[in-house]
A and B are shown apart, each in its own frame.
Chain A
Amino acid sequence: MYDILIIGAGVTGCALARHLCHYQGSIAVIERAEDVADGASKANSGIVHAGFDAKPGTKKAYYNVKGAKMYAKLARDLNVPYDPIGALVIGFSDEDRQTIQKLYDQGVKNGVEELRIIEKEEILALEPNTNPDVACALYAPTSAVVSPYEMTIALAYHAAQNGVEFIFNAPVTKIFRESDQWHVITPKGEFTARAIVNCAGLGADELHNMISDQQVRIIPRRGEYYLLDHTVKCPFSRTMFQVPSKMGKGVLISPTAHGNALLGPSAEDIDDGFDTATTRQGLDFVLEKCRLTWPKVNIRPVITTFSGVRAHPDTDDFLIGQVPGAPDGAFEAIGIESPGLSASPAIAEELGDQIAHYLKLPDARLVKPPVPLLKPFAAMTEEERAAACKENPDYGRIVCRCEVITEAEIRDAIRRPVGAKSIDGVKRRTRAGMGRCQGGFCSPRVAEILCEELHVSPLDITKSGGESYLLVGTLNDIAKEARGHA
């Protein structure tokens, strides 16, 4: 039996697991997918919002502002790409100006620092590629960008270093409380715990409704994006928002934490939370909207398009704390849509302390500081590269040419706690396959290394777990099969 079972290994679940390492207790995270950050945490704008969007007094406002202020240290401690580049919300009309004034007032009330409303001249001086019709903007210097999946991976990695167990491919099929224990049934077996925490993202309403008589609803809201190659400089050096609509913060253009230009998202409510397909309409919408910010919009250097699905709660605010209408020992952090990434460190801290207090867990004697992630070869100086190659010859073998990722980094990503098990797992941990050729050259070699490290056949290798196999058989297998049909 565990003290705490966290359901869902997104950024909220992983941040919570890591925070709970400050207490003595046995903790496990169970996850439906084969890896951490498989849902909204891997596909979002990667913005650490300053905190002016949410209405004052909401949980979104409170946790956003608090979480955002924790980010710089967190990213430094965990060695995750993070850049406080600032953000502009640009407006064109008198109506936009009113909205921007409202955002400013909200921000001040929420406790956001350094907010300013700036005029056309200053906007164009800061961001010369902005539409010259711009009238005014809210400038939030404290806004930042972070690599969201790397943050989640790093949180999980640090949690695992402190003894948190991760169980993958374990979707919860049944959950109930019996003789003061929670029972969680999954295809990977039955787990029991003194307390459970629902961090299940898009599946969180289903889980909530299994144990509570107060039903909630999470509406999957899909957003589509274009990602451009970082060899072409992003036309903006800050995150460029347009004034928000009722569907969200609207379409943005921003450099990512890795310097790619990101354009998106659209916002469309869908029925199936796991439907991350892109659509012609969605992508065209993004492009059309981007023209307002960037009239000379150029997506020639596009390397990929993707979509993410945010978990929009019908109450419009985060649901955090003890699960209302449920037996004892059930906690949740659900409906964590934007600004959830920004809020996650603060949610983890407060919810974690609440749970530990409920279970009367003693403070941990020692929280192991994070073992730093390897410095990427691509970011090393020539001297560091020479030294790294001497230390480990695997640094001498470049696997991903576009992003300059070495075999040493790929092997480390597979070997380390909460390591990669698939092509996408390696990609999110190392960036191998994230460049302009999108894995054309390196995916066969990455598959080979996965086989060597995990002692499996190439036929077992998947793109991202489940049935996403890369290969269907040997040449002989398929030729024989075809002769059988003939």
Chain B
Amino acid sequence: MREAIIPVDVLVIGAGPAGLAAAIAAKKQGVDSLIVLEREEQPGGILRQCIHNGFGLHRFKEELTGPEYAQRDIDTAYEMGIDIRTGVTVLSVSPEKRITAVSRENGLQVFEAQAIVLAMGCRERPRGALAIPGTRCAGIYSAGTAQKFVNLEGYMPGRKVVILGSGDIGLIMARRMTLQGAKVLACVELMPYSSGLNRNIVQCLQDYNIPLYLSHTVIDIHGRERLTGVTVAQVDENRRPIPGTEMEFACDTLLLSVGLIPENELSAGAGVDLSPVTSGAVVSDTLETSVPGVFACGNVLHVHDLVDHVSNEAFRAGEMAARYARGERRTGREIPVKDGKGVRGVVPQKLMLDDENKGVDLMFRPDRVYRDHYLTVYADGKPLSSVKKMILTPGEMVVQPVNEKMLAACREAKEITVAITEEKAV
């Protein structure tokens, strides 16, 4: 028996901060039929378990907790009458924008959308992906899984904790576990710099006297049934452990905060081109992917540090999806935006040069820490702007606006490049 196909103008996959903002923006464009599909039982995404504050400083000019931030968009979405369907998991997306999904209430459903917004977020890199030697005992969690146990379910995963990686969730969990009575022995970071926000290093480690070991890693894991300890060693410039620097930590818990990976399996199934650098879709400044009418935003596109940036990006994706759904197509010349020296994963990777393009934010991460360097945007090797930055670090995404004037100056250009330079480019 064939299921009836449900037609929809804009279908948003995911009701985290990106999906919610995209839906709100699409609705504001006057889209009639708009559906948001969310696999969890509630909207809000990962913000639901981020009960710490620090969200919304840019967008709302105040400090909110994760659930408070999410609730503002959830309330707005419901007030606007947006159809958010929770408990629905999308199984596949086809290049023809046919979406299959399942839920307990409705079983298997098939949708056909005019436009799709991909807003599935990201997942944590697990221990297995690092191939850390040792036993495969209980007590090893990604930081986000531990956060879920603590903040949503009210259980402690352990008493004595070592954290590998200094991503933001790991730092937040160092503080959270400490406040709940656990002893956090160390935060161990492979790189010579933290991958987390500086404010989190200060507020989550330094304020609680938790040592941060830079250029160190976990080289062995002990314990047959439950974790009993880890061996930590210093690493050389090639990230290989240095013999003789081993330290033993007796702990029952190892939390991993070693990177986030955009969750793009559905996108790949839809035929969307993915960037090997960001692991997200290759998009134009409209956030449209290589598949016409399929847009991407938030952590599924590239991993952000601040939810405020996610929301802004998603507003644009939602608006563009709505306009696509009602038949608007941009025409103009598209040129690539490329990573120059010191730059990794610039998004968007393409710019459309047309009258409508009034400017765009380029977002990327430096490939290492730079002090007193210049951030330079080139059009065919000719600098459009060159701005001095006191510090650039991989832990903090850089947002570099390209304004209308700069765009006007590259009307004839073949490509745009962003680079980090020692000297001001002239």
Write the residues of chain A forming the contact surface with B, with a CB cutoff of 8 angstroms.
226-227, 231, 274, 276-280, 282-283, 299, 302-306, 382-383, 385-387, 389-390, 393-398, 401-402, 404, 406, 436-441, 443-444, 458-459, 462-475, 477-483
Taking CB atoms and an 8 Å cut-off, the chain B residues in 118-136 that contact chain A are 123-124, 126-129, 131, 133-136
In the complex where A398-B102, A479-B180 touch, is A277 in contact with B134 (Cβ < 8 A)? yes
Q: Return the chain A residue nearest B3 by Cβ.
A: A386
Q: How far is the CB of A308 from chain B (nearest CB, A)?
A: 11
Would A283 and B131 count as touching, CB distance under 8 A? yes
Would B128 and A274 count as touching, CB distance under 8 A? no
Would B182 and A304 count as touching, CB distance under 8 A? no
Interface of B is mostly: mixed
Bound-state CA distance A465–B181 (Å) is: 26
B224 surroundings in chain A (CB, below 8 A): 274, 466
Interface residues on B, range: 35 or more
Would B133 and A443 count as touching, CB distance under 8 A? no
Would A385 and B108 count as touching, CB distance under 8 A? yes
B144 surroundings in chain A (CB, below 8 A): 440
Bound-state CA distance A382–B135 (Å) is: 40
Would A474 and B155 count as touching, CB distance under 8 A? yes
Q: How far is the CB of B66 from chain A (nearest CB, A)?
A: 18
Would B137 and A468 count as touching, CB distance under 8 A? yes
B133 surroundings in chain A (CB, below 8 A): 277-280, 282-283, 305
Would A437 and B135 count as touching, CB distance under 8 A? no
Extra A-B contacts (13), CB below 8 Å, given A305-B131, A440-B126, A473-B155: A278-B131, A386-B107, A387-B1, A394-B104, A395-B102, A395-B107, A396-B107, A436-B129, A440-B123, A440-B145, A441-B123, A458-B155, A482-B182
A468 surroundings in chain B (CB, below 8 A): 137-138, 225-226
Would B102 and A473 count as touching, CB distance under 8 A? no
Q: Which of B3, B129, B220 has the most CB of A within 10 A?
A: B129
In the complex where A277-B133, A389-B102 touch, is A443 in contact with B91 (Cβ < 8 A)? no
| B75 close to chain A: CB less than 8 A | no
- Give 4 nearest A-B pairs by CB, closest first: A482-B181, A389-B107, A304-B128, A438-B126
In the complex where A276-B136, A282-B133, A468-B225 touch, is A438 in contact with B108 (Cβ < 8 A)? no
Taking CB atoms and an 8 Å cut-off, the chain B residues in 240-276 that contact chain A are 241, 252, 263, 265, 268
Q: Which of B146-154, B184-192, B198-206, B345-353 contacts A (4 or more CB under 8 A)?
A: B146-154
Could you list 6 A-B pairs, sorted by A, with CB under 8 Å?
A386-B1, A389-B108, A390-B107, A396-B105, A462-B138, A468-B137
Bound-state CA distance A472–B2 (Å) is: 49
A469 surroundings in chain B (CB, below 8 A): 138, 226
Bound-state CA distance A282–B134 (Å) is: 11
Bound-state CA distance A467–B223 (Å) is: 10
Taking CB atoms and an 8 Å cut-off, the chain B residues in 297-355 that contact chain A are none
Across the interface, A302 reaches (CB within 8 A) one of B129, B154, B180, B252, namely B129
* B388-404 near A? 1/0 per residue, CB < 8 Å: 00000000000000000
| B196 close to chain A: CB less than 8 A | no
Would A396 and B181 count as touching, CB distance under 8 A? no
Bound-state CA distance A280–B231 (Å) is: 12
In the complex where A398-B39, A473-B155 touch, is A440 in contact with B137 (Cβ < 8 A)? no
Q: How far is the CB of B11 from chain A (nearest CB, A)?
A: 18
Bound-state CA distance A383–B131 (Å) is: 39
Would A393 and B226 count as touching, CB distance under 8 A? no
Q: Which of A276, A304, A402, A468 has the most CB of B within 10 A?
A: A468
| B292 close to chain A: CB less than 8 A | no
Q: How far is the CB of A444 from chain B (nearest CB, A)?
A: 5
B71 surroundings in chain A (CB, below 8 A): none
Write the residues of chain B forming the contact surface with A, with a CB cutoff of 8 angstroms.
1-3, 39, 87, 89, 91, 100, 102-108, 110, 123-124, 126-129, 131, 133-138, 141-142, 144-145, 148-150, 153-159, 180-182, 219-222, 224-226, 241, 252, 263, 265, 268
Would A231 and B265 count as touching, CB distance under 8 A? yes
Would A383 and B1 count as touching, CB distance under 8 A? yes
Bound-state CA distance A473–B127 (Å) is: 23
Q: How far is the CB of B183 from chain A (nearest CB, A)?
A: 8
Across the interface, B89 reaches (CB within 8 A) one of A398, A402, A475, namely A398
Q: Which of B131, B145, B220 has the most CB of A within 10 A?
A: B131
Bound-state CA distance A208–B169 (Å) is: 52
Q: How far is the CB of B260 from chain A (nearest CB, A)?
A: 11
Bound-state CA distance A17–B105 (Å) is: 42
Would B137 and A397 count as touching, CB distance under 8 A? no
Q: Return the chain B residue nearest A391 by Cβ.
A: B107
Would B128 and A459 count as touching, CB distance under 8 A? no
B104 surroundings in chain A (CB, below 8 A): 393-394, 396-397
Across the interface, A478 reaches (CB within 8 A) one of B91, B182, B219, B263, namely B182
Bound-state CA distance A438–B128 (Å) is: 7
A481 surroundings in chain B (CB, below 8 A): 159, 181
Bound-state CA distance A227–B127 (Å) is: 13
A226 surroundings in chain B (CB, below 8 A): 131
Q: Return the chain B residue nearest A287 by Cβ.
A: B131
In the complex where A382-B100, A382-B108, A440-B142 touch, is A472 in contact with B129 (Cβ < 8 A)? no
Q: How far is the CB of A77 from chain B (nearest CB, A)?
A: 30
Q: Return the chain B residue nearest A224 by Cβ.
A: B133
Would B156 and A470 count as touching, CB distance under 8 A? no
Bound-state CA distance A383–B1 (Å) is: 7
Bound-state CA distance A203–B168 (Å) is: 45
Bound-state CA distance A474–B155 (Å) is: 4
B158 surroundings in chain A (CB, below 8 A): 472
Bound-state CA distance A279–B265 (Å) is: 31
Q: How far is the CB of B119 from chain A (nearest CB, A)?
A: 15
In the complex where A226-B131, A385-B102, A396-B105 touch, is A459 in contact with B155 (Cβ < 8 A)? yes
Q: How far is the CB of A187 from chain B (nearest CB, A)?
A: 16
Q: How far is the CB of A458 from chain B (nearest CB, A)?
A: 6
Bound-state CA distance A444–B148 (Å) is: 8
Bound-state CA distance A226–B134 (Å) is: 13
Would B123 and A471 count as touching, CB distance under 8 A? no
Across the interface, A444 reaches (CB within 8 A) one of B105, B106, B127, B153, namely B153
